[in-house]
Amino acid sequence: MAKKSEKSGKSELTSLADVLNEYGIDRPTTFVDTGIDTLNDILGGGIARGSSYAMWGVAGCGKSTIAAQTLRSFCRQGLKCVLVDTERAWNDLQLQSFGLWEYKESGLLIHLTVRDYAQLEDVCKVISSDQDAGISFAVFDSMSELEAYADKTLTVKDCRPGIKALQASFLLPRIKNWFADADIASLWLFHARANLQMGVPNPYASKDRQDGGYAALHVPDAIIKLSVGFKLKEKEGDTEEVYGVELFMEATKNKFSKPFRQKKVKLIFGQGVSKRYATIDEAVASGVIRKSGASYSLPWGEKFFGVKKLYAMEHTTLKRLYEYLRTNGASEVGTSPGIPVYVDPAVNPSDLDPETGELLSPEGSISNL
């Protein structure tokens, strides 16, 4: 057993058993469903308890939306969450739109706002040390908007360059360790910044890079990059309305699975990554739904003309398609598939309501995504 030092009062390590008792770790990796199958896939199973994640991308790419979906998934599973709003951008209408208001009212979601690294330190220290609080997940939106701490009497003329980066390098590892000890997972959102190149420019280099400096790149256990593709548009008469974007997700750093696996999803404004769209896209990509011009044919002969009508298919048809993907066509009695189908192991028949065919959340309640 480790002895107490008379001078410092700290335990003196005298054997390997003392070292293991003081510093040994034996914590199994437990994943929590994010509510987004694609995100679960690229992360290796979901959000790992006690681990830290960073997500970054250009303005409007969907960082806050995906964070909201993940928060909702945690809350639906009865896990208490904290949303630290550094931008003061989250309002009641947003919380209601993303299905988070009910969890704020019930106490499963705590909504806070901080301005600088000193306030962030105070908040993180308390929620990680208060075992009665029972926090499981924390989202910081965004780390890029945090101010460096400075005495109130100082002006911008008094601040030396690099103070924010120094404070981030000091605090982020501490937050990671505090949360790991308390088994709290965290998601830190960062903006994109211009990737300035010195000397001879590399024409193949990305135009953007993650904001946040050294600590933001090296402290998180996984980093998710979001890139925007084309805009999703609906044409009504002579006008076009943008209702979403094609979004590419990629884990550029990952301690739980292979990095640099990129997945494409459709993000709908005000809703998030749609399970309905993901199912239909998978069927099109695998050849289950055959495309000929603007016509889309299902294996049993049903046809849709135009993408809008395809995505608006009835719940019963969607359920039938879902089962077809799951069983590689065996669900269609008397039908010979003859089509190679990739069956996504993340797809589960229990995700569908047996009566309506509506895609469900992992907890069994109808999702509005």
User: Is 39 exposed, middle or buried, given 0-12, 13-18 or 19+ CB atoms closer than 10 A?
Assistant: buried
Encode pLDDT of 7-45 as tens digits: 555 668 888 998 888 888 877 899 999 999 889 999 999
Q: What is the pLDDT of residue 307?
A: 83
Residue 254: strand, helix, or coil: strand
CATH code for the part of the protein at 28-223:
3.40.50.300
Report how far apart the first and last C-alpha atoms of the chain are (Å, whole number): 55
Of the candidates 128, 48, 137, 126, the residue with the CA atom closest to the CA atom of residue 100: 137
Please determine, for residue 365, whether its predicted confidence score (pLDDT) is greater than 80: no
Q: What is the pLDDT of residue 339?
A: 42
In the chain, where does the domain assigned CATH 3.40.50.300 lie?
A: 28-223
Q: What is the pLDDT of residue 26?
A: 79
Listed range (65-69, 188-192, 279-283) with the worst mean pLDDT: 279-283
327 confidence band (pLDDT: 50, 70, 90): confident
Alpha-carbon gap, residue 195 to 205, rounded angstroms:
8
User: Which alpha helices (DSSP H) does 61-162 contain, by range?
Assistant: 63-76, 92-97, 101-106, 117-129
Please determine, for residue 334, whether its predicted confidence score (pLDDT) is greater than 80: no
Chain-wide mean pLDDT for the chain?
Answer: 85
Encode pLDDT of 191-247 as tens digits: 998 887 777 777 777 788 899 888 999 999 999 999 999 988 877 778 888 888 899
Alpha-carbon gap, residue 91 to 251, rounded angstroms:
29
What does the pLDDT average to over 325-354? 55
Please determine, for residue 340, whether its predicted confidence score (pLDDT) is greater than 70: no
Q: Which residue has the higher pLDDT, 137 or 359?
A: 137
345 confidence band (pLDDT: 50, 70, 90): very low
What does the pLDDT average to over 291-300? 92
Q: What is the pLDDT of residue 243?
A: 84
Q: What is the pLDDT of residue 350?
A: 52
What does the pLDDT average to over 46-68? 95
What does the pLDDT average to over 254-261? 94
What is the sign, positive or negative, of the torsion defined by CA atoms of 369, 143, 218, 52?
Answer: negative
Q: What is the pLDDT of residue 336?
A: 46
185 confidence band (pLDDT: 50, 70, 90): very high
Encode pLDDT of 81-109 as tens digits: 999 999 998 999 889 989 999 999 999 99
The pair of structure tokens assigned to 314 is 């009835």
Q: Which residue has the higher pLDDT, 213 or 79?
A: 79
- Single-letter residue type at 16: L
Of the candidates 210, 205, 206, the residue with the CA atom closest to the CA atom of residue 193: 210
Q: What is the pLDDT of residue 28?
A: 84
pTM above 0.85, yes or no: no
Encode pLDDT of 101-157 as tens digits: 999 999 999 999 999 999 999 999 999 999 899 999 999 999 999 999 988 888 877
